[in-house]
């Protein structure tokens, strides 16, 4: 009977040691997993971070433009993402002509009110939609085409005072970039 009692004690002590060993083993397992996961993240971070755009690219993502010096009938050109942005302060006659144009007469129908946020200001990407040339019409002495807007000298596309294609091989209107008026004298493009 003494042997049975010592065996029971040993089993009780052994199971206590086993449970203590299990707890140690679990702690070591979880600690190793945590350290391994942290090490993997630390090793992977430079590879993930290199995929983010650099500071010079982020600087080009948006352009703030001061339009306070632009007089009625004048145009200015800015650069955004390597493309020219045409900003024109339209005259009352240009606005009236653009708004009076019948949409059925346009190859790429788009109402003037859908192309501008303020009727006197037209902001668009100055790249012809045919083959990527830069249309004339920004300077006062430039040929403005048959419709008083812009003329692409490469293949003869004519755009109106709203930047819509009216004649020539260009399939679409001059695109409008994402922009907003910060205040009455500044535009944020991008």
Q: What is the pLDDT of residue 16?
A: 61
Q: What is the pLDDT of residue 73?
A: 87
- How far is residue 101's CA from residue 162's CA, in Å, rounded to a whole number? 10
In this prediction, residues 5-33 reach a mean pLDDT of: 70
Q: What is the pLDDT of residue 15?
A: 57
Q: What is the pLDDT of residue 64?
A: 84
Q: What is the pLDDT of residue 122?
A: 92
Its pTM stands at: 0.67
| pLDDT tens, position by position, 122-146 | 999 999 998 888 998 888 778 788 8
Q: What is the pLDDT of residue 81?
A: 83
In this prediction, residues 93-105 reach a mean pLDDT of: 89
| pLDDT tens, position by position, 63-91 | 888 888 888 989 898 888 888 999 999 99
Among 2-16, 17-31, 52-66, 89-103, whose mean pLDDT is lowest?
Answer: 2-16
Q: Output DSSP code: residue 124.
A: E
The confidence band for 58, taking pLDDT boundaries of 50, 70 and 90, is: low
In this prediction, residues 43-60 reach a mean pLDDT of: 77
**Residue given tokens 């997993």 in the structure block:** 33
- How far is residue 84's CA from residue 143's CA, in Å, rounded to a whole number? 18
**Over the chain, what is the mean pLDDT?**
84
Q: Is 155 a catalytic residue?
A: yes
Provide the pairing of β-strand 75-80 with 148-152. Answer: unpaired
Q: Determine which one of 20, 130, 155, 158 is catalytic.
A: 155
Give me the half-sphere count of Cα atoms (radius 13 Å) on the Cβ side of residue 179.
26
**8 A C-beta contact, residue 125 and residue 84:** yes
């Amino acid at each position: 009977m003494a042997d049975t009692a010592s065996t029971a004690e040993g089993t009780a002590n052994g199971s206590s040691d086993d449970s203590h060993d299990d707890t140690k083993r679990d702690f070591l397992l979880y600690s190793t997993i945590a350290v391994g996961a942290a090490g993997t993240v630390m090793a992977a971070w430079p590879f993930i971070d290199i995929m983010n755009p650099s500071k010079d690219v982020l600087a080009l993502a948006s352009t703030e433009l001061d339009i306070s010096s632009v007089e009625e009938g004048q145009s200015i050109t800015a650069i955004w993402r390597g493309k020219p942005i045409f900003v024109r302060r339209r005259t009352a006659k240009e606005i009236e002509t653009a708004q009076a144009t019948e949409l059925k007469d346009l190859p790429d129908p788009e109402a003037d009110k859908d192309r501008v946020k303020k009727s006197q200001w037209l902001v668009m990407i100055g790249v012809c939609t045919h083959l990527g040339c830069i249309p004339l019409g920004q300077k006062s002495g430039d040929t403005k085409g048959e419709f008083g807007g812009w003329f692409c000298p490469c293949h003869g596309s004519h755009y109106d005072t709203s930047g819509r294609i009216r004649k020539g091989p260009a399939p679409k209107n001059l695109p409008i970039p994402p922009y907003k008026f910060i205040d009455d004298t500044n535009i944020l493009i991008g």
